[in-house]
Amino acid sequence: SGLSTEAEREREREASHTHIHTDPDQTHSRCPVPALGPHRSHFGPRTGLGPLSLSLSLPHSLSPGTPTSARAAGLSLTASQPAPPLPSPPRRPRVRKLLLVEAAGVFMLRSGVTSESSPQEDGSYHKAASSSSLSLSPSPQQTPQHNHNHLKKRQRAEEPLECVVSDMAEEGQHKKANFSALVGHTNGLTKSATLTGKPGTSKKLVIKNFKDKPKLPDNYTQDTWQKLHEAVGAIQRSTSIKYNLEELYQAVENLCSYKVSPTLYKQLRQACEDHVKAQIHQFREYPFFTILVLFLKKINKCWLDHCRQMIMIRSIFLFLDRTYVLQSSMLPSIWDMGLELFRTHIINDRIVQSKTIDGILLLIERERTGEAVDRSLIRSLLSMLCDLQVYQESFEHRFLEETNHLYAAEGQTLMQEREVPEYLHHVNKRLEEESDRVITYLDQSTQKRLVACVEKQLLGEHLTAILQKGLDNLLDENRVADLTLLYQLFSRVKGGLQVLLQHWSEYIKTFGTTIVVNPEKDKTMVQELLDFKDKVDHVIDVCFIKNEKFINTMKEAFETFINKRPNKPAELIAKYVDSKLRAGNKEATDEELERMLDKIMIIFRFIHGKDVFEAFYKKDLAKRLLVGKSASVDAEKSMLSKLKHECGAAFTSKLEGMFKDMELSKDIMVHFKQYVQNHNDPSKIDLTVNILTMGYWPTYIPMEVHLPAEMVKLQEIFKIFYLGKHSGRKLQWQPTLGHSVLKAEFKEGKKELQVSLFQTLVLLMFNEGDEFSVEEIKTATGIEDGELKRTLQSLACGKARVLNKAPKGKDVEDGDKIIFNDDFKHKLFRIKINQIQMKETVEEQTSTTERVFQDRQYQIDAAIVRIMKMRKTLSHNLLVSELYNQLKFPVKPGDLKKRIESLIDRDYMERDKDNANQYHYVA
C-alpha cells in the first residue's frame, strides 16, 4: 500500500470489516531505562546480547470453521464475513518471522516476511524482509492520534509492510484490511484479539511486501547524529538530556536500518575518545605524595563516572551494539570500546599508572603495619585494573615483589627477637591476614602466589632454625596447641614435614637415650619409658593427626635407643612386670592392670634381646607361683597370652609348663593325703609339695640345711609315695623356696606366724632357749651367712618383731644376740612375716645373663646346621647373612665365627680345600 496519510488509513479501516479490539481499561506507562551494570565480557570473546528471534509458519489456507489467531506475535485478527479467495502469484513459501527486541525500556514486536531475493539499486541482492513495527509502550499521556503519528514515523524509517487478509466464501467477495493501529497491551506485550469465521468458510492470510522502499528525509542522518551527539555529551557532563530516551533509541535503530551503522559507530567512538582524552590532564599535574588518598579517590571517581556514562550510552545505542557490532567480529562492543579507551588514554599513561599503583601499594603497606585504610577504595581500584585487563602486568608483579621483600625482612628480624611459639602465632596471623586481603579486595588469581610468598619467607627460609630453636622445648613442656600449629604450618610448605620428621626422630632418640643409658635411672627406667611413650603417642594423635610417617618414625627411634644398652632394658621390664603382678600390689584395678600390660608389650616389641626378658621373667614368675605371691592368675595368664601372641608358642612353652606343674602338683597332693591316711601314720605337720619339672623352671643352686626330724620324716614318706608312682625319676629338694605356718605362744596369747622355711628353722630354735648368738643359730640351722642375716633381720628388725636383737639396730652383725620377744603383740591372729627380699646380686645377674648367652649359642649352632643342611655348600658371607635373617637376637660377627669353628671341630661341616671361605655340610 506504500506510505499513506492518516486520513487515508482511517478510511481504509472504516471500509474494512476487520475489527481491532482494544482494551480501554489497560493502563500504559513508559518502561524505565534498565541499569545495565558493567560486565566483564572483555575477559573472553566479545559477547553481545543479540535479539531473541521466533519464527512462525502460517499455512496458505485454513480449514473452514477453524478460529485463526496469531498469538505467537501478540496480535489477533478477526474477519467479520467470509470473502472469496484471492488469486496469488506463484512464489516460494513464506515464513513469518517474529523478532522481540529489548532496548532502553521499549519492547517492540517486529514481523517480517521472507521472499525470494530481489535486486537492489546498487546491484546487490538481499532478502526482501520488510518489517512493520508496533510500539507497545506509549506513555499514559499519549492519545491515539499520538500513537498514529509515532507509527507513521516508524513506517517512514523502515521498509513498510502491506498486510492483506482475504476470506474465501461462497459469495466470492473479498475485503482488504490494513492494520496500522495499536491494540491493547499488558506490560509491553500485545493483548490478543481473536480471528473468527463462519462455519463452512475458508480463510487465507496473505502478507505482501511494499512495492517501493521508503526513503529517509534530507539531512536526516546529520540531524539525527547531532541529537545523539548532544545526548552523549550531556551524559558525559552529567547534565539532563533534552530528548526522550525512547526517541533516541528509535533514532539509532532508524540509522542502523539504512546502512549508517559503520559511520555511526565511528562517530560514537570518536566522541567517547575525545571525552576520555580530556580527563588525563587533571591527573598528570595532581600532587600525589602530598594528598595520596585524594588522588586515588579522584581516579576512582573518574572510573566510576566513566562506567556510568558508558552504561547510559550503551543503552541508547543498544540496537547498534546488538546488530552491527555483534555481526562484526573485529569490532569491540560499546562497553569494551569504553574500557579500551579508558585503558589506553588514562591507565596506560605512564605517570597516572605509576601514581595509582604506588598509591595502592602504599595503602596496603600501611594496612600491614596496623593502620586503618579505606579498603573499599582499594577494592574499587583493583577491580578497575581487573576490568581493564592490566591487573597482572601493572599491579600483581610489583605487589608480590613488595610482599616478598617485606616478609623476608620481617622473618629475619622476628626469628631473632621472638620465641618459637610466639613466632608461629605471628606467621599464622599473617597468613590469615593475607587470605582476608584476597577475599576483601585482591583478585582470586593472586591468592596462590601471595600465600606461597608468605609461606616461603616466614616459614620455608627458617624451617631448620625454628625446629632447632623450639621443637625440643615444645615437646618437653608438652605444649599441644603450639605443636598442632607447628604441624599445620609446616604441612603448608614443600619439604616442611620431612624436616619436621627428621627432628622428631632425633628428639625421640636423644630423650630416650638419656633414660636408657644412665644406670642411675634403672629403678625408674621402665616407668619413664612408658610415660614417654604415652606423651609421644598423644602428640601424634592430637598434633600430627595420626600421620603414618610420624608413627613409623617414632617406632624406629624407640627401637634404636632402647637397644643402645644391651640386655638391661629387657631385664628391667621383666622386673617391672613382676612388681605389678605381685599380690602386694594394690595400686591398680584389673582394668588398669590390663592396660598397663598392653603398654608394657608395646615397649617389649622394641627389644632385640627378648630371650633375656624371658629368662628374668621366668625367674620372677617362679617366685610368684611357688610363694603364692601372684596377684591374679587371670592377670598372669593374660600376660602369658600376650607374650605368646607376640613371640610365638616356642617362646612361652616353658612358662606354660610352669603353670601345668602347679596344677599337677595339686592333684598329686590330693593322692598323697589319701596315701598318708591309708598308712595310719598321721602327722602333726600338714605337708604340701610342689613337683617342678627342671627343664621348665629356673636353675636353683642346691642348699643343704638342717631340718627338724619331723620334716625329714615327711620328706621320706613323700619320696617313697612319688617314686612308687613315677619310677626312674629323681627328686631334689629346694629349701630356699619352702614356707610354713607356725603356732606360737606369747604372753598376750597364741598367734600363727606365716613364715619362710629359713625363718621357721630359726624360730624353732627358741623352743630350746630364749637367747642365742648369730653364730649359734648359723651352726644349728646350716643356713648360708648372707641368707641367715636377712632372715634374722626380717624377724628382729621388721614391723612384726617376734625376736629382739642386742644391740639394737637395723642390720644384723656377727656378734649380735638374738632374744625371743615374749611381749610380742599384734591385732591379727595370723601374721605374715615377709622375708626381706634379697637384692639380686651382680653374680646372680651375671649368671642369668650367662645362661641366656649359653642358650643363644645353642640357637646359633642349630641355625648354622639347619642352613648348611639345606644349602650343602655356602660361602662365609652368605652364611653370616642368612644367620642374621634367622636369629631373633643381636649377635656379633665374632661370636658367629666362633660357633662356625666349633661346628667344624665337631665335624658338622668342613672348609673347602681350595677356598677357605667356602663351607661344606658333612652328612
- Tell me the pTM: 0.63
The dihedral sign for the CA sequence 900, 904, 910, 914: positive
Structural contact between residues 744 and 753, judged by C-beta atoms closer than 8 angstroms = yes
**All cell numbers assigned to 662:** 602347679
Segment 126-153 shows an average pLDDT of: 37
- Ranges of each domain in the chain: 95-111+648-840, 222-450, 461-565, 566-607+626-645, 844-921
User: Looking at the domain that runs over 844-921, which CATH code has it been given?
Assistant: 1.10.10.10
Question: What is the rounded distance in angstroms from the CA atom of residue 743 to the CA atom of residue 364?
Answer: 95
**All cell numbers assigned to 72:** 505467537
Structural contact between residues 705 and 758, judged by C-beta atoms closer than 8 angstroms = yes
Structural contact between residues 16 and 173, judged by C-beta atoms closer than 8 angstroms = no
Alpha-carbon separation of residue 303 from 56, 272, 297, 346, 904 (angstroms): 46, 14, 10, 10, 99
Residue with cell string 601514581: 355
Exposure string for 671-697, b = 16+ CB within 10 A, e = fewer: ebeebbeeeeeeeeeebebbbbeeebb
Backbone angles phi, psi at 854, to 5 degrees: -65, -40
Q: pLDDT tens across 816-864, in order?
A: 788 888 887 888 888 777 766 544 455 555 666 666 766 777 788 888 8
Q: pLDDT tens across 478-534, in order?
A: 999 999 999 999 999 999 999 999 999 999 999 999 999 888 888 888 999 999 999
Question: What is the rounded distance in angstroms from the CA atom of residue 393 to the CA atom of residue 389?
Answer: 9
Q: pLDDT tens across 678-730, in order?
A: 776 666 778 888 888 888 888 777 778 888 888 888 888 888 888 888 877 88
Distance of CA 610 to the CA centre of its chain: 40
Q: Which of 529, 530, 536, 526 is nearest to 599 (CA)?
A: 530
Q: Which of 701, 686, 532, 719 is nearest to 619 (CA)?
A: 701
Q: Which CATH architecture has domain 95-111+648-840?
A: 2-Layer Sandwich (3.30)
The dihedral sign for the CA sequence 630, 633, 635, 636: positive
Residue, of 79 and 298, whose pLDDT is higher: 298
Which of helix, strand or coil describes residue 838? coil
Q: In DSSP terms, which residues pair with 750 in a beta bridge?
A: 745
Residue, of 87 and 740, whose pLDDT is higher: 740
Strand pairing class (803-806; 749-756): unpaired
Residue with cell string 587533571: 282
222-450: CATH topology is 5 helical Cullin repeat like (1.20.1310)
Q: Specify the amino acid at residue 598.
A: D
Q: In DSSP terms, which residues pair with 189 in a beta bridge?
A: 186
- Report the mean per-residue pLDDT for the chain: 75
Q: Which of 81, 116, 78, 76 is nearest to 95 (CA)?
A: 116
**Residue 693 Rama label (left phi>0; alpha psi -120 to 50; beta):** beta
Cβ atoms within 10 Å of 796's Cβ, excluding its own: 22
Name the strands in the sheet holding 803-806, side by side, starting at the edge strand that comes first in the sequence: 771-773, 817-820, 803-806
Which of helix, strand or coil describes residue 158? coil
Question: What is the rounded distance in angstroms from the CA atom of residue 741 to the CA atom of residue 684?
Answer: 12
Structural contact between residues 890 and 848, judged by C-beta atoms closer than 8 angstroms = no
Cβ atoms within 10 Å of 432's Cβ, excluding its own: 10
Q: Specify the amino acid at residue 843.
A: E
User: What percentage of residues in the chain have a pLDDT greater than 90?
Assistant: 30
CA atoms within 13 A on the CB side of 451: 19
Question: What is the rounded distance in angstroms from the CA atom of residue 791 to the CA atom of residue 360?
Answer: 92
Q: pLDDT tens across 376-404, in order?
A: 999 999 999 999 999 999 999 999 999 99
Distance of CA 237 to the CA centre of its chain: 56
Q: Which of 320, 322, 318 is nearest to 261 (CA)?
A: 320
Backbone angles phi, psi at 209, to 5 degrees: -80, 155
Structural contact between residues 492 and 469, judged by C-beta atoms closer than 8 angstroms = no
pLDDT at 37 over 80: no
Alpha-carbon separation of residue 407 from 416, 419, 486, 507 (angstroms): 14, 18, 19, 30
Q: pLDDT tens across 771-824, in order?
A: 888 788 888 888 887 778 888 877 777 777 778 877 777 777 777 788 888 887
- Name the helix (H) or strand (E) containing 331: none
Q: Fold match between 95-111+648-840 and 844-921?
A: no
User: What percentage of residues in the chain have a pLDDT greater than 70?
Assistant: 74
Question: What is the rounded distance in angstroms from the CA atom of residue 280 to the CA atom of residue 742?
Answer: 118
Helix axes 496-517, 463-476, angle to 10 degrees: 40
Segment 184-206 shows an average pLDDT of: 52
Judged by average pLDDT, the poorest of 137-151, 222-236, 298-312, 839-853 is 137-151
Which of helix, strand or coil describes residue 233? helix
pLDDT at 300 over 60: yes
Which of helix, strand or coil describes residue 100? strand
Alpha-carbon separation of residue 552 from 303, 544, 546 (angstroms): 60, 13, 11
Q: pLDDT tens across 254-263, in order?
A: 899 888 899 9
pLDDT at 470 over 50: yes
Question: What is the rounded distance in angstroms from the CA atom of residue 462 to the CA atom of residue 412?
Answer: 8
Judged by average pLDDT, the poorest of 16-20, 625-629, 704-708, 723-727 is 16-20
For the purposes of burial, counting CB atoms within 10 Å of the CB of 392, is it exposed (0-12), middle (13-18) or buried (19 or more)?
middle
**All cell numbers assigned to 484:** 598442632
Class (C level, CATH) for 461-565: mainly alpha
Q: pLDDT tens across 565-589, in order?
A: 888 888 899 888 888 888 666 666 7
